[in-house]
Amino acid sequence: MLSERALFIINVSLGLFSVLLVLMLLAIKFPTLGQAQYALDKEEPVCVIQWGDEATPFTDVDRCCLQARQQFECRAQSKDNLDWVCGADEGLQIWLNNKAYNYCKQQPYW
Amino acid sequence: MKKKRGYEVQKKLFFALVVIVLLLSILNIAKAKGLLIPKQGPVDVKHKVVDLQKLTLDQKVAQMVVVVGTKENYWPWRNMQLGGIHLFARQTEHIFNNTIIDFQFQTPIPFFVTADLEGCVSPFGFIRQFTPASEVDTIEEAFEKGVEEGQFLHKLGFNLNFAPVVDLKDDIWKCRSFPGDETKISELAQAYLTGLQTQEVLGTAKHYPGKTLIVKDPHKYVVAAEIGKKDVYPYAYLVEKGEVKAIMVSHIITSGEVDSEGVPSVVSKKVLDDLRAHFDGLIVSDEIHMLGLKKFYRSVDEVYIAVFKAGNDVVLNFDKDPNEIYRMIQIVKGAVERGEIPEAQIDASVTRILEVKGFTVR
């Protein structure tokens, strides 16, 4: 049997949890750990489009994210300071560094 | 005695809080799945005839929206009676096909089922490779490419492809534009569209008014470009030939031959009105979650209103949160009710959409 003190602590926790659930229901959003991590990362987002042997930096990270999202998968793979590759093994590939990939993951379509 | 009473109070409070947490959790899950979004009333369709007056404003605005088709959002998208679903990559043709069949099952007004199959840019890379537009050199090859991609898409259940790209220059992807000058690109695009549309898949010329595939200043989110006569030549050519049924408008701020008057083209009434003056097909917005567009407004609500107000018939919003899509519909509906967006304009867009879907509108 729980002590009164333990029950009090559980009730306070449940009360706080209820408040959080109400806020969620009202669509009040809190910054996530991932967003904080992204904000603290001072690296520039980099996106590179690779078609055949040609690799072209693409500065429109939003469009880069959208095209990357349309691919079947993005997998962790390192190459020239880039950390992720999206696309099939052959054909067009979209390369992202961690900063760009984390940015993409925050987009509403990801 | 007092201690025992205190314990009893804590115990009762505990059970009350457990019930509250459970109820709130259920509500949150239901909300996240879009189950709290009200279901639209039935659509009266008889012999492929739709009475526009019988559609509610919610239903009309919803018809103008294309979202991402995911299994998780199956019910909310159907309940909202949205205009279309756009599919990202899947592992097999079978999965694509099943997803589309599920979505289209017993819908009074079928969804547009859209994809970005351009050749090198494709959600089907895991399944099959297609000829990149940059490697197409003759009219015959362009037509064949259209037929091949159309057959593939039609077999899976797609009915609208966001291709071909008719930008004259592709400095970034190196494979998305047809080769040659504006005349050759226009002829190749026409042949491609003819081939694609023989397979009952509509094509979309993009990205109006051009210059979207050039390297941009990395420090600017809002991008501007000077548009020349050559850039818009493919659109004029395809419209004149009557081959193009949809045109996608970009977020670039333009001057010169097409002047967006300092705002992104996709929200420029002037750009869209000028295009509409010669083109009676579908005007499709580029996806609206781009900083080039979002940074231009103080809130996403303003983006929603601006993109509809400008005169886009089909608006691409790939937000996967069904509540946000519902909110967009309500915001646009509010703008129509306030007279900020003319209802006649919404009616005209919905009529175009329904006619393209094969309905007679009265």
How much is the pLDDT for B1? 64
CB atoms within 10 A of CB B183: 12
Q: B216 pLDDT band (50/70/90 cuts)? A: low
> CB of B255 within 8 Å of any CB in chain A?
no
Q: Note down pLDDT in tens along chain A; length 110 residues.
A: 778 889 999 999 999 999 999 998 988 877 777 778 778 888 889 999 999 888 999 888 888 999 999 988 899 998 888 899 998 888 899 999 999 999 999 899 99
Choosing among A3, A19, A58, A60, which should be mutated to test the B contact, i.e. which has the most B CBs within 10 A? A60
ipTM: 0.84
- Total residues found in chain B within this entry: 362
List, as one string, the DSSP characters of B21-90.
Answer: HHHHHHHHHHHHTTTTSPPPPPP-EETTEE-GGGS-HHHHHHHTEEEE--GGGHHHHHHHT-SEEE----
pLDDT higher than threshold 80 for residue B3: no
Instruction: Encode pLDDT of B71-94 as tens digits.
Output: 999 999 999 999 999 999 999 999
Instruction: Encode pLDDT of B258-316 as tens digits.
Output: 999 999 999 999 999 999 999 999 999 999 988 778 888 989 999 999 999 999 999 99
pLDDT higher than threshold 70 for residue B219: no
- Prediction pTM value: 0.91
Residue position matching structure tokens 């009309």: B60
Q: Do B318 and A10 touch (CB under 8 A)?
A: no
How much is the pLDDT for B178? 96
What's the helix, strand, coil split of chain A in %, to 5? Answer: 45, 20, 35
Q: Whose CA is closest to B78, among B109, B44, B56, B46?
A: B109
DSSP secondary structure code for residue B228 in this structure: -
Nearest chain A Cα to B218, which residue? A59
CA–CA gap between residue A98 and residue B354 (Å, rounded): 43
Pick the more confident residue, A89 or B319: B319
Counting residues of chain B whose pLDDT is more than 90, the rounded percentage is: 82
Choosing among B12, B15, B23, B24, which should be mutated to test the A contact, i.e. which has the most A CBs within 10 A? B24
| Order of all β-strands in the sheet with B65-68 | B160-161, B112-115, B84-86, B65-68, B315-316
**Residues 17-36 in A contacting B (C-alpha not used; CB under 8 Å):** 17-18, 21-22, 24-25, 27
Q: Does residue B304 contact residue B328 with C-beta atoms inside 8 Å?
A: yes
- Picking from A4, A61, A109, the nearest residue to B319 by CB comes out as A109
> CB of A56 within 8 Å of any CB in chain B?
yes
How much is the pLDDT for B96? 96
CA–CA gap between residue A43 and residue B212 (Å, rounded): 26
How much is the pLDDT for B224? 86
What mean pLDDT, rounded, does chain B reach? Answer: 93
User: Å from B58 to nearest chain A CA?
Assistant: 22
How many A-B residue pairs are in contact by the CB < 8 A criterion? 123
CA–CA gap between residue B338 and residue B199 (Å, rounded): 42
Question: With 0-12 CB in 10 A as exposed, 13-18 as middle and 19+ as buried, what is A15?
Answer: middle
Most confident stretch, A43-57, B101-115, B203-217: B101-115
Helix (H, G, I), strand (E, B) or coil at B226: strand
Structure tokens at B83: 């205009």
Choosing among A66, A67, A74, A105, which should be mutated to test the B contact, i.e. which has the most B CBs within 10 A? A66
Element (H, E) at B111: none
User: Å from A41 to nearest chain B CA?
Assistant: 18
Q: B353 pLDDT band (50/70/90 cuts)? A: very high
List chain A residues with CB under 8 Å of B7: 4, 7
CA–CA gap between residue B283 and residue B204 (Å, rounded): 9
List chain A residues with CB under 8 Å of B116: 67, 70
Counting residues of chain B whose pLDDT is more than 70, the rounded percentage is: 97
Question: With 0-12 CB in 10 A as exposed, 13-18 as middle and 19+ as buried, what is A17?
Answer: middle
List, as one string, the DSSP characters of B112-160.
Answer: EEEE---SSS-TTTTT-----GGG--SHHHHHHHHHHHHHHHHHHT--E
